[in-house]
Structures are given as C-alpha cells and as structure tokens.
Amino acid sequence: MTRLRWKLLAAMVALVVVTIGASGLFTRRVTHDQVKRLLIAHNPMATGEAVGPIEDHVRSTGGLAGVDAVIDRATAASRCRIVLTDPRGSVIAVSAELRAGNVSVDEADWVTAQGVHDGHREHLLVQVVPRLVHDAEGRTIARVYVLPADHLENPTEEREIAAVDQRLVAIFAIAMGIAVLLTVVVSRRITRPIEQLTAAVQEIGRGRAPAHIPVTGRDEIARLAASFNAMVDAVTEQEELRRRMVGDVAHELRTPLTNLRCELEAIQDGLSAPDPARLGSLHEEVLHLQRLVEDLQELAVAEAGALQLQVERIDLGATVTRIAAAQAEVTAEDGILVDADVTRLRQVVHNMLANALHHTPDTERVLVRVTRAGASATVSVIDRGPGIPAKDLERIFERFYRVDEARGRERGGAGLGLAIVRRLVELHGGRVWAESVEGAGATFTFTLPLASS
C-alpha cells in the first residue's frame, strides 16, 4: 500500500470517527432527555405525588409560604425534580438539587436548569407540560413542572437508559465498521489509478512503452488516465516514426552511395573507363543525394514550425494555371483570392503534379481544378493512374511512405514530396487529403482559406 493511500485512508477514517463520534454523543444526550420525558409523561402517579402535597399545603395555609419543605418531601416521594412557578412563569421554588443553580421557564414551557451536582456541572433543557395548582376557591395560583431526576435513584429509568445506551453503542459500532470498510474501498479506488499512472511513468522513464491504463467512470482521474493513454499512443507512434525514418533515410542513402562506390571502384580498378555516359550516371546519383538531403532539411524545418512564409494576396486560379499549364489541363474559377507564399505554393503544386505524372500514362493528361468551397479555395489534382488502395490513403502523406513496397525510385522517388506538401499546406492554414478508386486514378486535394476582405 502506498504512502498516499495510507494518508488518504487515515484522513478519511479520522473524519469518519470524529463525525460518527460527535453524532453519537449528541444522539445519546438527546435520547436520554427524550427517554426521561417519556418516562415522566407515562408515569402520572409520580406527577400526582408531586402536585398533590403542594395543593394540600396551599389549601391548608392559604398560600405558598413554606412550600420548599413540601417540595422536598414530594421530590423524595415521586423520585423526580420539581419546579414551581407562578402563572406568569416566574420560578417560586425548586427541589433541593436545583437550588444551587439557575432555573428558568419560558413561554413555551421549556425548562432550563444549570448548576453543579456532586462536582459535575449539569445542564438540562426539557419541555414539560405543567400541572396547575389551585387554591381553595379554584383559582390557579401556581404551575408545577416535574423534571427527570438525573441523580435520583430510579431503577426503571436507569434500566431504560442503559438499554438505550446499549442499542446506541451497537448501532454506532456497526455504522463505524461499515464506514471504515467503505473508506478502505473508496481510498483504494481513488489511489489505484494513480499507482498505475506512477508505474506507467516509471516504465516510460526506463525506455519501455507501458500498457494502457484502464479507464472507468468520467471523473478527473478517469480523464487523466485517458489523457495519459493518448500520450502513450502519441509517444509510441512518434518513436515508431523515428525508427522508421532512420531506417528509411539509411535505405534512401544506401542505394545511391552504393552505386557511386561501385562505379568509382570499377574506374579505379580499370574495369570501366570514365566516359561521359558513366560520369553522367555518377552525376545523376549525386543530384539524387542532394535532392534527398534538401527535402529532408526542408521537411525538418517545416515540421519544427521554423519555416517563414512570404505571404501576399494572389489570384489562386491564375497562379495555379501559370504553374501547371505546361504539364496538366487546368480548369479554374476567376477571382479566387488567397493569402499565400507563391514560392511554397509552386512547390506544393509541383510536388503534386510530379506524383500524378508518375502514375499517369503518356497518352493521358493530368487534370487540375481550382474552385471555391465555402470559405476556402480548393485545388484538386486528378491523375489517370492505377489508383491507391483504401488502406494506404491515410498514410500516403507520411514521409518515406510509398504504396510500392519494392521501394524502387523509378516509381515514386524518395517518398518525401507529399509529406512536404502536407506541412506546407498546414502552414498556410489549409488541409490536404487523397481520394481514390482503385484502378480508376486518384485525386489529391488541398484547401486554402479565402482572403479576408
């Protein structure tokens, strides 16, 4: 179990213990008061034993003088506490146990008693229905409130309160156990994804790709796990692309370098003469290496976002027509204005035309169409080649990716042209995609935002 889980578990258990403990003490206090009230309410004999002597004293003496002694005897007989007030609620006399404290009665018959008994401070708040005391002529001269006797010996009351305490202890013990169990489950549920995330990050630190973390629910931790899984996928994909790029660059460089080495060694060994045809072949290999290095450098700069565009407002249809008229049949709408770098736009169109011409028979022509599409201008290059399989359409713009698995340079070059097209179009705020029906040619399309007025 991790330190975080221990801390979380300890904090939650402490919160549960404090909350349930405070609730238990409050419930016990309230329950005791209610039990005492019920015992008094259901014991009319005790009430009668308290009120009867007071009424007899009033009728015999004609008043309440000397009533304290009567209250003490009534208290001992009824085993209850007695508060005597006038009809307006002012306290006249109380039982001996209450005389050292403060006793008051409000208009709603709530009796408050505060004091010290046997060295313990007491506070009692209870609502009691009073009994009226009448004189010989039937007039109400006082009210009697019979209160619970906390420290008077009352076996019935003590048994009832003890039984209530036992039930309360059992209920709160069960509640505590359930709460702690739920706390353990919840803390484990919260910390387990964090532990998995920590282990996965450590795996990445060791250079290994971790497995996906299970995502359950829609809370913040679930979103964090989903984001981490997406990051792992992206890192894995980038690592795979990096390895593949290294292999592709090595492959692309190996072929011309091997040709150069073989030709030069043949000339050195006297097996062939450095005639113009052989020197031309060597020059062609050098030019291929130069183009490859330049394409790689340009793609790296574009992907790093360091390529600076010299943007100007142009008529897209007229510009594309000038670029492609000698190589393709162009159809363009008039007045399509965009903000673009003409040099980079020429590079995009040339790369797309070169790809289309590679796959179009000599008897056919490549078609180029420039149209509007909502808030964007669209340029489509349509070839008459064999088409692209559906499984390759999504990857056709990746660097070094070619449909031809044999990777022959005579059928598609180094595989960087379309990757450069995608980066340049994205730098202009557009997008590029390919569509194809296998056996019926392919259409490569890119968009540029229309110029704002």
pLDDT tens, residue by residue, 317-344: 999 999 887 788 899 998 899 999 888 8
Extents of the domains making up the chain: 43-153, 220-302, 308-449
Residue 151 scores a pLDDT above 50: no
pLDDT confidence of 406, banded at 50, 70, 90? very low
Better-predicted residue by pLDDT, 267 or 45: 267
pTM: 0.47
Q: At 216, list the tokens.
A: 């359950």
Give the architecture-level CATH label for domain 43-153. Answer: 2-Layer Sandwich (3.30)
Comparing 66 with 13, which gets the higher pLDDT? 66
pLDDT digits (tens, 9 = 90+) for 78-119: 777 888 888 888 888 888 888 878 888 888 888 888 766 555
Topology classification of domain 308-449:
Heat Shock Protein 90 (3.30.565)
Residue 140 CB: number of other CB atoms within 10 A?
11
Cα dihedral 266/272/277/282 (nearest 10): 10
pLDDT at 411: 46
pLDDT, residue 394, reads: 78
**Burial class of residue 448, CB neighbours in 10 A (0-12, 13-18, 19+):** buried
When mean pLDDT is compared across 42-46, 47-51, 313-317, the lowest value belongs to 42-46
Distances (CA, A) of 292 to 256, 262, 405, 420: 10, 20, 19, 12
Backbone angles phi and psi of 340, in degrees to 5 = -150, 160
Each residue's pLDDT tens digit, 232-279: 888 777 777 677 767 767 766 777 788 788 888 888 888 888 888 778
Q: Which fold has domain 220-302?
A: Helix Hairpins (1.10.287)
Does residue 368 have a pLDDT over 70? yes
Assign 432 a pLDDT band (cuts: 50, 70, 90): very high
**Who wins on pLDDT, 315 or 41?**
315
pLDDT score of 47: 62
Q: 3-state class of 450 per DSSP? A: strand
Say if residue 226's pLDDT is above 90.
no
Distance CA 253, CA 241 (A): 18
| pLDDT per position as a tens digit, 152-173 | 444 555 666 677 777 777 887 8
**Mean pLDDT, the chain, integer:** 78
Q: DSSP alpha helices (H): ranges in 269-314?
A: 276-303
The rounded distance, in Å, linking the Cα atoms of 221 and 3 is 18
Contact between 112 and 91 under an 8 Å Cβ cutoff? The reply is: no
